[in-house]
């Protein structure tokens, strides 16, 4: 079923790929949650046996975990931690001591203790998916947002002539390889890997997945988020599994890896921010955390072993989100400068992270005409190859690739973790390259980049030198500024033709319009405008650091050479 | 994993130049080798004479003109083709490659895809370093093979052919590739070291050719060993900076494929690049030298590419600029070298 254009032009509505939630992979996996947990535990234990599960090694593993957990409970306790934790680990410690009483380690006893730890971790990690909760959340975000949005828009003094009720789909556009992704979601497993700029990303991506007609994706959510009663209720039932960044012991990490691996093998689509955390500098990710991608490489290997003739395939879909404003821009860029600049940069205190501000941001976003664009990149297999409509990997000559060939040594499919790691790195590079290609440049990004580079060059200072200049002293004559914008615009058009970047609709206008529009839309939320006009019509900035943050979005394209 | 049948499986060598022939003979000690030669005359000569490029061919080297056959029978393939022809060779080979193939190349050059307009104006274009490819990157771009490595080090073809002892580096992100390469080359006269910084090792081998050229020039002019040491040491620092623009790490430059290779090529008349420099200093023209040399001196093209990158970066690189002006702008050698050696000061070691 292909997407159809609705009555409003430019809005595409996507019917659900799988109409009934009961048929969704995520539901099928979580409706048998107990069984899933059993499987994860069994495979994890099996993993240790294969790794050399002698009593001694397991003893050390548990002892390490115990030690690290004790430090964590003492130094870094969180509200969400279960109350019985100290008691549990005390029991583990005692059992461990007993197991080694005779001077030698009792292998059977140690294995039993390991099983207890694995059991506990697996139960902690495992996610759930409830259809009723999903429906409610969908109603609340989609319908609720739309109501709210139209309520704001329809205030008489705000309404402009000819304006009509708008749908959320018009605010948030889905572009790129949407049809391909919909088709692939039925053929195999999709791992969506988005860029990460704002805390709101996870919420809006959930919406985007729904709007694209895809079944819900599972994702790892920080365990701290489960401390919030309402959030926790939703997260726990929307297919999120729990991640605890504090736990770094081998048993926990292995458990986490095998949990995600098994969910992938069972066909659960997954969402994963490969950048790890939000981009502090405002630039597109330059380095990725590869953890979950490595899991996928191993999951694919096992899928091939299970059914060499007709194995399920895993696809990776990069996603870049473009918008004019990032809620936390001020805080993020301050954290970045503090870390990078060391003593050269004096931190200016800034407030952020209040509920009021979040609501104000959402209000502002909905009220303004600015939109959010989701640019879905070309789907690829785990080795960066293109896939055809049937989901089959093709090489550069269009020949069908048997993925088993990537895992072969001397004609046999073997496990080689160093090789998997090297593959994962290469996949990371492909994802990054895709981010740069699929990035949609708005006029606001262009003016921010131009302005900051313009200032660097005219002031003849380096970054930290420039940041110490008072904003009042930084005035950009309109004509010079517009000329610079024009040069970079030309270069971006050229790059678009070469397929190196994509341009937003607002970049199709005349240069004066691009400048005006870009400045108006850039960082609409911030009290101090990153860019604005003074009375004489010159371009000025009220907040250089935030301007720098938005400037960074176009880092990595070597645009500064064309100014 | 060392199994008996590894030695029964043939390995492939693509390119029957002097280094390709050396590699084929080295490999043939441990397993059968299939050597691909593009030109029929060369294949016939090898089969008939049993001698090629002055080297006695090992009886276990079979010659072929069919890349499909080579890819079909060999999992491990060693491309040894000049950088100028490397991409074209990969395009011919690629349709026969599968993801289980392992490629270890031995080419110390760079690849740049230029538009026709850029080719005409190569003397003043600015080249973004991210448009320059090492051979491993060409392999990745042109084929489905990911398990790629490179062999690099002080390996003067003529010395290895004579059976003199030598060492080399196999660099790859994959341990598997390094082990396969080591296994195939194992010998008591040829030591193999490993490195995981593929790009760093490749760039070390490529860029050091610039210094080999310069070293040949200084020697040819009879400027003495002091001047040569000065030129090489300061030049080495410059090359490491240039490598940094390509995103490479410095460590590989300190190893056998870096300093090691530089020492061999900057002092030996057996090095092609050194020879080009020396003959230039002795008054021959570049065109004449290239015409009369049997094989490609990669350094000439590397200087050209490096200079275009220097222009893009808008940074200074005195050695590259000087050699470029001699090679392509007809600046007299004395003038360029003189400019390089006088009026220069600065920190000694600032790159570690």
* pLDDT computed for residue B340 by the predictor: 79
* pLDDT computed for residue A378 by the predictor: 95
Measure the CA–CA gap between B335 and B217, rounded to whole angstroms: 12
* pLDDT computed for residue A359 by the predictor: 65
Catalytic residue among B48, B50, B108, B208: B208
Contact call for B146 and A426, based on CB within 8 A: yes
Q: How distant, in Å, are the alpha carbons of A401, A402, A555 from that of A563? A: 44, 47, 13
* pLDDT computed for residue A344 by the predictor: 47
- A160 pLDDT higher than 80: no
Mean pLDDT within A251-261: 93
* pLDDT computed for residue A350 by the predictor: 39
Mean pLDDT within B112-129: 87
What is the tens place of the pLDDT at every residue in B174-205? Answer: 999 999 999 999 988 899 999 999 999 999 99
What lies within 8 Å, CB to CB, of A7 at 6+ separation is none
Assigned token pair, A505: 């609709």
Nearest CA in chain A to B313: A561
Report which DSSP code applies to A346. Answer: P
Contact call for A419 and B3, based on CB within 8 A: no
- A289 pLDDT higher than 90: no
A409-435 burial, b at 16+ Cβ within 10 Å, e below that, comes to beeebeebeebbbbbbebbbebbbebb
Which residue would you say has higher pLDDT here, A131 or B352? A131
Assigned token pair, B9: 């499986």
Of A84-98, A154-168, A332-346, B20-34, the poorest mean pLDDT is in: A154-168
Assigned token pair, A223: 């365990």
Nearest CA in chain B to A411: B100
Q: Which of A301, A382, A384, A397 to mutate to test the interface with B (most CBs of B within 10 A)?
A: A397
> Three-state SS for A20?
coil
Band the pLDDT of B1: cuts 50, 70, 90: very low
Band the pLDDT of A228: cuts 50, 70, 90: low
Q: Are residues B208 and B109 in contact, defined by beta-carbon separation less than 8 angstroms?
A: no
CA-based nearest residue to B321, from B120, B83, B115, B123: B123
Q: Are residues A548 and A451 in contact, defined by beta-carbon separation less than 8 angstroms?
A: no
- B3 pLDDT higher than 50: no
Q: How far is B102 from chain A (nearest CA, A)?
A: 10
Measure the CA–CA gap between B322 and B340, rounded to whole angstroms: 7
Nearest CA in chain A to B100: A405
Q: What is the mean pLDDT of chain A?
A: 84
What residues of chain B lie within 8 A of the CB of A408, using their CB?
A: 99-100
Q: Are residues B70 and B80 in contact, defined by beta-carbon separation less than 8 angstroms?
A: no
Contact call for A396 and B175, based on CB within 8 A: no
Measure the CA–CA gap between A221 and A545, rounded to whole angstroms: 30
Contact call for A558 and B128, based on CB within 8 A: yes
Question: What percentage of chain B carries pLDDT values higher than 70?
Answer: 96
Q: Using a CB–CB cutoff of 8 Å, tell me whether A494 touches chain B.
A: no
Q: Are residues B138 and B87 in contact, defined by beta-carbon separation less than 8 angstroms?
A: yes
Q: According to the per-residue pLDDT averaged within each range, which of A362-371, A512-521, B340-349 is highest? A: A512-521
Strand runs (DSSP E) across A203-286, as ranges?
218-222, 240-243, 270-271
CA-based nearest residue to B202, from B235, B170, B167, B177: B170
> Three-state SS for A524?
coil
- A354 pLDDT higher than 70: no
Q: Using a CB–CB cutoff of 8 Å, tell me whether A38 touches chain B.
A: no
- A548 pLDDT higher than 60: yes
Measure the CA–CA gap between A87 and A93, rounded to whole angstroms: 10
A317-338 burial, b at 16+ Cβ within 10 Å, e below that, comes to bbbbbbbbbbbbbbbbbbbbbe
> Three-state SS for A18?
coil
What residues of chain B lie within 8 A of the CB of A395, using their CB?
A: 94, 143-144
Contact call for B98 and A396, based on CB within 8 A: no
What lies within 8 Å, CB to CB, of A79 at 6+ separation is A227
What residues of chain B lie within 8 A of the CB of A423, using their CB?
A: 146
Contact call for B174 and A383, based on CB within 8 A: no
Of A219-223, A475-479, B133-137, B288-292, the poorest mean pLDDT is in: A219-223
Contact call for A409 and B1, based on CB within 8 A: yes
* pLDDT computed for residue A360 by the predictor: 66
Band the pLDDT of B168: cuts 50, 70, 90: very high
* pLDDT computed for residue B337 by the predictor: 82
What residues of chain B lie within 8 A of the CB of A402, using their CB?
A: 98-99
B48 counts as catalytic: no
Global ipTM:
0.90
> Three-state SS for B265?
helix
What is the tens place of the pLDDT at every residue in B5-56? Answer: 446 899 999 999 989 999 999 999 999 999 999 999 999 999 898 888 888 9
- A440 pLDDT higher than 80: yes
What is the tens place of the pLDDT at every residue in A58-86? Answer: 999 999 999 999 999 999 888 878 889 99
- A433 pLDDT higher than 90: yes
Window 384-423 of A, Cβ < 8 Å to B: 385, 395-397, 399, 401-403, 405-406, 408-411, 416, 418-419, 422-423
What is the tens place of the pLDDT at every residue in A442-473? Answer: 999 999 999 999 999 999 888 888 988 888 88
Measure the CA–CA gap between B288 and A53, rounded to whole angstroms: 69
Q: Which of B4, B100, B314 to mutate to test the interface with A (most CBs of A within 10 A)?
A: B100
Contact call for A405 and B100, based on CB within 8 A: yes
CA-based nearest residue to A392, from A407, A405, A383, A381: A381
Which residue would you say has higher pLDDT here, A323 or A1? A323
Contact call for A383 and B146, based on CB within 8 A: yes
């Amino acid at each position: 079923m292909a997407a159809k254009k609705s009555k409003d032009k430019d809005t595409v509505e996507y019917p659900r790929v799988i109409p009934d939630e009961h048929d969704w992979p995520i539901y099928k996996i979580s409706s048998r949650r107990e069984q899933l947990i059993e499987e994860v535990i069994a495979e994890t234990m099996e993993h240790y046996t294969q790794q050399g599960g002698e009593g001694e090694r397991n003893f050390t593993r548990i002892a390490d975990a115990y030690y690290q957990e004790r430090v964590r409970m003492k130094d870094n306790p969180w509200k969400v931690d279960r109350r019985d934790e100290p008691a549990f680990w005390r029991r583990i410690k005692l059992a461990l001591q007993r197991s080694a009483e005779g001077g030698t380690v009792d292998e059977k006893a140690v294995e039993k203790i390991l099983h207890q730890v694995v059991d506990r971790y697996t139960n902690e990690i495992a996610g759930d998916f409830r259809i009723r909760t999903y429906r409610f959340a969908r109603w609340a975000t989609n319908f609720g947002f739309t109501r709210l949005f139209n309520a704001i828009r329809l205030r008489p003094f705000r309404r402009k002539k000819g304006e009509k009720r708008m749908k959320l789909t018009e605010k948030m556009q889905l572009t790129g390889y949407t049809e391909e992704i919909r088709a692939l979601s039925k053929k195999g497993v999709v791992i969506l890997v988005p860029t990460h700029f704002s805390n709101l990303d996870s919420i809006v991506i959930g919406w985007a997945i729904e709007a694209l007609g895809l079944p819900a994706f599972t994702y790892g959510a920080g365990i701290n988020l489960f401390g919030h009663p309402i959030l926790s209720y939703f997260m726990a039932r929307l297919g999120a599994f729990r991640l605890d960044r504090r736990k770094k012991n081998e048993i926990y990490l292995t458990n986490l890896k095998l949990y995600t691996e098994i969910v992938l093998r069972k066909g659960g689509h997954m969402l994963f921010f490969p950048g790890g955390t939000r981009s502090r500098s405002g630039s597109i990710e330059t380095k990725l955390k590869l953890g979950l991608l490595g899991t996928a490489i191993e999951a694919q290997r096992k899928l091939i072993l299970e059914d060499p003739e007709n194995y399920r395939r895993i696809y990776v879909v990069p996603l870049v989100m473009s918008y004019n404003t990032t809620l936390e821009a001020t805080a993020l860029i301050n954290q970045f400068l503090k870390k990078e600049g060391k003593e050269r940069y004096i931190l200016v205190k800034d407030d952020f992270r209040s509920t009021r501000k979040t609501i104000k941001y959402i209000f502002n976003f909905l009220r303004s005409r600015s939109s959010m664009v989701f640019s879905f990149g070309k789907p690829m297999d785990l080795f960066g190859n293109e896939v055809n409509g049937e989901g089959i990997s093709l090489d550069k000559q269009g020949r069908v690739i048997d993925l088993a060939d990537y895992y072969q040594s001397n004609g046999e499919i073997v496990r080689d973790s160093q090789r998997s790691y090297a593959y994962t790195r290469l996949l990371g590079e492909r994802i990054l390259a895709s981010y740069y290609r699929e990035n949609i440049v708005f006029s606001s990004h262009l003016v921010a980049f131009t302005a900051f580079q313009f200032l660097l060059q005219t002031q003849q200072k380096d970054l930290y030198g420039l940041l110490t200049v008072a904003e009042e002293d930084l005035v950009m004559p309109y004509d010079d500024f517009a000329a610079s914008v024009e040069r970079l615009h030309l270069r971006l058009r050229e790059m678009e033709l070469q397929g190196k970047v994509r341009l937003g609709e607002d970049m199709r206008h005349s240069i004066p319009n691009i400048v005006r529009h870009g400045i108006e839309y850039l960082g609409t939320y911030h009290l101090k405008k990153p860019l604005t006009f003074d009375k004489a019509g010159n371009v000025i900035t009220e907040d250089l650091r935030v301007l720098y943050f938005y400037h960074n979005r176009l880092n990595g394209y070597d645009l500064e050479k064309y100014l | 994993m060392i199994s008996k049948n590894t030695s029964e499986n043939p390995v492939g060598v693509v390119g029957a130049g002097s280094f390709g022939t050396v590699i084929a003979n080295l490999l043939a000690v441990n397993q059968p080798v299939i050597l691909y030669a593009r030109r029929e005359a060369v294949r016939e000569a090898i089969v008939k004479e049993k001698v090629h490029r002055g080297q006695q061919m090992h009886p276990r080297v079979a010659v072929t003109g069919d890349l499909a056959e080579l890819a079909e029978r060999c999992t491990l393939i060693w491309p040894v083709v000049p950088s100028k022809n490397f991409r074209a060779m990969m395009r011919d080979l690629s349709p026969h490659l599968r993801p289980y193939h392992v490629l270890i190349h031995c080419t110390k050059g760079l690849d740049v895809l230029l538009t026709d307009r850029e080719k005409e104006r190569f003397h003043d274009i600015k080249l973004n370093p991210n448009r320059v490819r090492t051979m491993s990157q060409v392999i990745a771009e042109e084929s489905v093979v990911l398990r790629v490595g490179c062999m690099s080090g002080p390996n003067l073809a003529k010395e290895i052919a004579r059976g003199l002892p030598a060492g080399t580096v196999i660099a790859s992100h994959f341990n598997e590739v390094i082990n396969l390469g080591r296994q195939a080359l194992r010998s008591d006269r040829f030591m193999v070291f490993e490195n995981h910084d593929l790009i760093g090792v490749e760039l070390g081998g490529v860029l050091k050719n610039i210094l080999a050229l310069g070293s040949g020039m200084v020697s040819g002019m009879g400027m003495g060993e002091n001047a040569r040491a000065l030129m090489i040491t300061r030049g080495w620092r410059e090359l490491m900076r240039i490598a940094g623009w390509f995103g490479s790490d410095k460590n590989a430059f300190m190893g056998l494929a870096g300093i090691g290779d530089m020492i061999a090529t900057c002092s030996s008349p057996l090095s092609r690049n050194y020879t080009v420099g020396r003959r230039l200093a002795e008054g021959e023209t570049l065109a004449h030298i290239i015409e009369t040399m049997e094989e490609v001196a990669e350094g000439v093209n590397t200087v050209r590419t490096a200079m275009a990158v220097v222009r893009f970066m808008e940074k200074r690189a005195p050695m590259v600029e000087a050699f470029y002006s001699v090679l392509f702008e007809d600046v007299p050698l004395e003038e360029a070298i003189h400019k390089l050696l006088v009026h220069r000061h600065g920190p000694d070691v600032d790159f570690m």
